Structure 1
């Protein structure tokens, strides 16, 4: 990683997290007493390696069928029964895993801090092959079964054929001198690869050739300093309307819904964010960079509610289940917010080392992977 990109991590840390020397108004909001009406009941839990490591990774598990696959920064890759937590297999590899996990029917995909795409057998975790990608991988690779696409922190997006293990194409995006610590994870849908970029754009690439079909601005650089001009699209992309629309969040930009086929903007709302959005009950739920949680209603036309009591607590991407929105914070607390009114309903601590990775929802279960490697399934219950 070059000096400027490394500096971006330091500057992001200084600007986003509030250390003890900063003014009191910039400190994370303290947790206050709440009258809990809902809670999270732990269904099962385990520990996976050293979790997210120390380099601000957001390695995210993935679910397919009855299996949950997860990786850790120190090279552990494992599979669990999603309902019971029974470990199906576990492999220890000498890998510096920094992005993942992606999958298709037969394979798992992770990326490394050393600039490699690693392809593994999903039935046992054996490494099948690996390929250089010329940059640190901070998101999950994506596959449609015939191609695997991986995005790097250096602005490259590669498409590899799964038949012959050869690189089919490479797309290179202009990278600003300064950017946030992270990348979007590519999404393959309707014959295109969707990716959020550090230059504030959302791009759709032809899945076979890698040529750009369209680009759309999510955030526009403004201001006189490099920090003021940060515009990364780093959060997970959200497909809605049966995959017809993609929703992207931009730092110091907006939340934007775009038609996948044409690239035409459908609606937008101002919302600076470095995490993705979620959908439930017809609403789009977003977290802003200051820790506000909002429900966007009526096809992007209105804000149903905004909750700001968790300001500056460095919240995760929101998750929706059983009538609540759940967000995690830097101290490892899970906060339950009512989907209809935005009121805090409960709080549970999952991992004292904090939470960064997006959570997963499958049916009535919430899956949380903490920074220290604590992995657990929860269900929501009334108090």
Structure 2
């Protein structure tokens, strides 16, 4: 059981992070690295035009077809070669991006602070369409079957025609008086649109009609004060083999059947970031930056690493034989999947601002940092 005072203190720190990153307390000392199993090396580093806004955790790298696709806050889109970071394509736009990209072949989509969703062709370097939504967009859209699902900060989910930008249907959830700034990214899967909201609900809608198929309260607001009642589902949702995994601020990590919404298992693990799933393993970073590896089928714990507590870890990523996490001082740590021990560590760059994003390719770990760099690491 999580100590209530620790949980509330962690929530306060989360809100401070959102409001003023310079006000963060000093980090705990790094743990001693007993034995380095692998040497994490930098393959290449590429600078891009513009940074990644309030936090590059909101921006993403799409790693597909031996390339990386991204947008900077300045509204500049890139296609980089995974092999060496070469800029295959660059498109400048007039928009100020607020979230990462979604890719459909030659077309990239991204959201803005003033509530636009924009479609851009990489080959023609033209804006194909823009659609104004009800509020700002703080997470990437989801594409499937010619449709785009996107969430805005006012609790609205919209489905758009990916070719024209026309809004096909919308759904809305009431948002609490106090929330953590941000939204999760919806997922289109098996004819449904899955979306998590700031009120703690995970909903499944019909892709065709927008009708609500099922709803599950992952985060249940409890407590006397608003900060105790935070229940946001801002971390990324993950779908694997017909199961959707979600985690809420108030401590619930759940696995639900996509078809019915029936809970398969649930753990009381608080987390302010997302999770990662690979095969039968699920990794999550809790509110204190404990790294926990679970059996994705039944929720049983495989191991827990407490060496990086209070180092403000972001969402974990499976990387070959290891689990990768990055802390606020820009140290990347590789954890052994069998034991949970730290197998490698690397400082990616001195004086990098807080808030980075990791994504894995086949043999490389790609890092998006707020100082307008994309870096590839390997071993």
Q: What is the TM-score of this pair, normalised by structure 2?
A: 0.90
Distance 1:92 1:20 in 2: 30
Matched, 1:81 2:81: yes
Distance 1:170 1:237 in 2: 20
| Counterpart for residue 348 of structure 1 | 346
| Counterpart for residue 182 of structure 2 | 182
Distance 1:373 1:315 in 2: 20
User: Greater shift after overlay, 356-365 or 249-258?
Assistant: 356-365
Q: What is the TM-score of this pair, normalised by structure 1?
A: 0.89
Contact in 1 for aligned 2:90/2:122 (Cα 8 Å) = no
| Counterpart for residue 272 of structure 1 | 270
Distance 2:248 2:164 in 1: 36
| Counterpart for residue 197 of structure 1 | 197
State how many pairs are aligned: 367
Distance 2:355 2:206 in 1: 31
1:122 to partner: Cα distance = 3.6
| Counterpart for residue 315 of structure 1 | 313
The structure-2 alpha-carbon separation of the partners of 1:16 and 1:224, relative to structure 1 and needing over 3 Å to count, comes to farther
1:84 to partner: Cα distance = 2.3
1:322 to partner: Cα distance = 2.4
Matched, 1:144 2:147: no
| Counterpart for residue 362 of structure 2 | 363
Classify the secondary structure of the residue corresponding to 1:98. coil
Distance 1:330 1:267 in 2: 31
Contact in 2 for aligned 1:29/1:309 (Cα 8 Å) = no
| Counterpart for residue 373 of structure 1 | 372
1:357 to partner: Cα distance = 4.3
| Counterpart for residue 284 of structure 1 | 282
Classify the secondary structure of the residue corresponding to 1:247. strand
Distance 1:128 1:18 in 2: 36
Distance 2:164 2:116 in 1: 17
The structure-2 alpha-carbon separation of the partners of 1:231 and 1:278, relative to structure 1 and needing over 3 Å to count, comes to same
Distance 2:19 2:293 in 1: 24
The structure-2 alpha-carbon separation of the partners of 1:327 and 1:124, relative to structure 1 and needing over 3 Å to count, comes to farther
Distance 2:296 2:96 in 1: 44
Contact in 2 for aligned 1:269/1:300 (Cα 8 Å) = no
Classify the secondary structure of the residue corresponding to 1:97. coil
1:335-381 per-position Cα deviation (integer Å, ceiling 9, x unaligned): 111111111122112243245344111212111101212111111x3
User: Greater shift after overlay, 345-354 or 207-216?
Assistant: 345-354
1:139-191 per-position Cα deviation (integer Å, ceiling 9, x unaligned): 11111142111111111111111344321111111111111121101111100
For residues 180-329 of structure 1, the aligned pairs below 5 Å read 180-241=180-241, 244-280=242-278, 282-297=280-295, 299-329=297-327
Distance 1:56 1:369 in 2: 7
Distance 2:279 2:211 in 1: 36
Q: Where in structure 1 are there 5+ consecutive unaligned residues?
A: 1-8
Distance 2:212 2:159 in 1: 13
The structure-2 alpha-carbon separation of the partners of 1:235 and 1:55, relative to structure 1 and needing over 3 Å to count, comes to closer
Classify the secondary structure of the residue corresponding to 1:38. coil
- RMSD (CA atoms): 2.4
The structure-2 alpha-carbon separation of the partners of 1:71 and 1:19, relative to structure 1 and needing over 3 Å to count, comes to closer
Q: Where in structure 2 are there 5+ consecutive unaligned residues?
A: 1-10
The structure-2 alpha-carbon separation of the partners of 1:46 and 1:302, relative to structure 1 and needing over 3 Å to count, comes to same
1:312-352 per-position Cα deviation (integer Å, ceiling 9, x unaligned): 22211101122211101112111111111111122112243
Distance 1:19 1:73 in 2: 18
The structure-2 alpha-carbon separation of the partners of 1:19 and 1:141, relative to structure 1 and needing over 3 Å to count, comes to closer
